[in-house]
Amino acid sequence: MAGLYDSANRPADVRRMLDEVGVWGVGDLGQLAAYHDSLGTPLGLMAARALRAEGNVAAAKAAARSVIAQWPGYDPAYQLFVELAGESAIPELDGLAARDPFEERPLIWKAVAQIGAKQYAAAEENARRAIAIDPSDGEQGVNDRMRAYAVLADALEGRGDQQAARGY
């Protein structure tokens, strides 16, 4: 049900389920963060979206962090985290990249945060580092593959190199 409420953009109902349904069997949302619905959306991400909708940004960031910790290749959690944290996400994403040098997602999303902060040269560098780790982005789902190239194009466009950006 939480997945249905989340996909119907009913965050209050997601929150009510988390707060009032007694079948979870855990005392902390962090223990549920990686449970997912039939579409593969983690409960932690649903909770983070619901918390954001009610204005609890700190709790929403914590829930997104928990999903990232348990699903380090899951783009929607990074996307929400970067949306919530903005430029302040950069040091945290640095830490994630340092902990797992073979996971390209922290570098991709660090580049996204850097683009938001108009740090285009640094964003280009991180997008290229992500591409070097996994040029095909093959373990991602059909609609998430090759994200690093799109981010690289955004960084190049930000730097004013339209021709190179079009190539990506």
* pLDDT tens sequence across 52-75: 999 999 999 999 999 999 999 899
Q: Which two tokens stand for residue 150?
A: 């799109």
Q: What is the pTM of this model?
A: 0.88
Give the mean pLDDT of 113-130: 98
In DSSP terms, 36 is beta-bridged to 42
Asked whether the predicted pLDDT for residue 100 surpasses 90, the reply is yes
* pLDDT tens sequence across 24-37: 656 666 667 667 88
Determine how many CB atoms are found less than 10 A away from the CB of residue 36: 19
Query: Long-range pairs for 139-148 at CB < 8 Å and ≥24 separation?
Result: 139/73, 140/73, 140/75, 144/75, 147/75, 147/108, 148/104, 148/107, 148/108, 148/111
The secondary structure element, H or E, covering residue 165 is helix 162-167
Return the ∠ at Cα 164 (arms to 162 and 168), rounded to 5°.
110
Looking at the chain, the whole-number percentage of residues with pLDDT higher than 70 is 88
Please provide the average confidence, as pLDDT, over all residues in the chain. Answer: 89
